Amino acid sequence: MGCIASKALEVQSHKPAVETDSIQLAEEGASGTSKAAPPPAESSPEAATTEAALAIVEAAAAAVAEKPMEGLLEEGKEGDIPAALEAALQVHKELGASPVRLIDARFIIELAERGGVLTRRQDLPEAAFISLEVLRRLPEATGHSLRILSISHPWQQPDNPDPKSINLRLLARVLRSFIGYPESTQTFAVFLDFLSLFQKGPNGEERTEAEAALFKLALSDMMAWYAHHKLFTLKLKLPPGYPAGFSFPSGMQPNTAGYSERGWCFCESSVSNMRKDTWMVLDLGKLGPETKSLNDVIIECTAKRAPPLLPADFRLALAAKSFTSKKADEEMVASLYEATFEKEMGEATQLLLHRLQWGDAEAIQLSKVIASGALPKLETLLINHNQIGDEGVKALSDTIAGGSLPSLTFLGLIENKLSKAGKDAIMAAADKRSIACVA
């Protein structure tokens, strides 16, 4: 979960391990839109626990319930929901609920417009959610992506990831861009940990036994929501001036580590970088104040991404990251990454890595992953429009000539910074393997 599901106030990270009792939450923000939204009312840090705040939640959900959803697939026709995600959305027979629920993007927009505050899953009306049955009937979105958006963010307080609604308003802007709301009554399903997973109470009250079991189940395959190549990942950041003006329990020091320095966020970002096309990982912190169209949101917010890391390299990098409970969480996060890496890399048939500003260092890192044998089914590798030079292409050439990527049939390296010698080297390596290559 983005920096989400277990995000405890990462006084030094975000999500608490399943075994950790005190979940502390802390994460980041988003942006984008298609029609200018009316300016939302300012909300106070205390609003999340007041009756007034819950009344706003009810009003936002009621507004969504009054607008029939359009554009659904016909009855009897269903879209392809990945098995791991569908399993998390199915009601557990013994526990009576699903580990994860997805939120209707229209609800988030309505909540932001009314000056509301993010509210934990247990306190949300049914109209705030998208059922598994409706999700199955949502058509594909742009670029054959699924209509699911996964939010990765650092929690700002232990009781609420966004108590001042700064990131809520930014996220609502972006969601308007994705669905063209309110002109369109189509929608997206949103995975956002605080709303999608069972949480502790506003004053630290424990989950019920069933809620705790479902929370643990959700954490066990959390990275699937960020790694799947047909889901967008939207990254949010800490608000300017943080932590000034925020509230923390006595004796707790706020975690001021940035998004990339938090262990859970680092993992969510790293698994998002594995297989997704270039434009499906968006950093909403890059969004301009006037940007409205989805196309412009994607152009502005496409995140600069690192190549995938081998699990051993990820563990080394993770050791330097911030956690609320490092002893409890670090090994769990490393294990989640390793399992996700093996699954996603093992299933990948194409990697489209255009315009990521990659140079020789990134090409060498990618070559290291290729040489490990992690991509046995990869058929198409496109690394066009980057800044890779001869040093990077030599690493790729040696790896490919050595027999890695046994299924590769096409390699693209156009518009990089290769000399004639570099181009000749990669073409010779590809020719040796009967791989079509353009460079």
Q: Cβ distance 3 to 219 under 8 Å?
A: no
Report the C-alpha gap between 439 and 419 in whole angstroms.
10
pLDDT reported for residue 8? 40
Using an 8 Å Cβ cutoff, are 435 and 400 in contact?
yes
What pLDDT, on the 0 to 100 scale, is given for residue 105?
97
**Alpha carbon of 351 to those of 27, 228, 411: distances in Å?**
29, 13, 10
The pTM is what?
A: 0.87
Question: pLDDT tens track of the chain, all 439 residues?
Answer: 445 334 443 333 333 333 332 222 233 333 333 334 444 454 544 444 578 899 999 999 999 999 888 888 877 778 889 999 999 999 999 999 999 999 999 999 999 999 999 999 999 999 999 999 999 999 888 778 999 999 999 999 999 999 999 999 999 999 999 998 767 778 999 999 999 999 999 888 999 999 999 999 999 999 999 999 999 999 999 999 999 999 998 888 898 999 999 999 999 999 999 999 999 999 999 999 999 999 999 999 998 899 999 999 999 999 999 987 888 899 999 999 999 999 999 999 999 999 999 999 999 999 999 999 999 999 999 999 999 999 999 999 999 999 999 999 999 999 999 999 999 999 999 999 999 999 9
Are 108 and 119 a contacting pair, CB within 8 Å? no
What is the model's pLDDT at position 48?
A: 45
Amino acid 326: pLDDT: 87
* Residue 5 contacts residue 224 (beta carbons within 8 Å): no
Residues 356-370: b if buried by 16+ CB within 10 A, e if exposed? bebbbebbbbbbbbb
Strands 129-130, 189-191: parallel, antiparallel or unpaired by DSSP?
unpaired
- Provide the pLDDT for residue 328: 86
Buried/exposed code over 211-237 (b: 16+ C-beta within 10 A; e: otherwise): bbbbbbbbbebbbbbbbbbbbbbbbbb
Question: In the prediction, which pLDDT does 24 show?
Answer: 29
Bridging pattern class, strands 189-191 and 350-352? unpaired
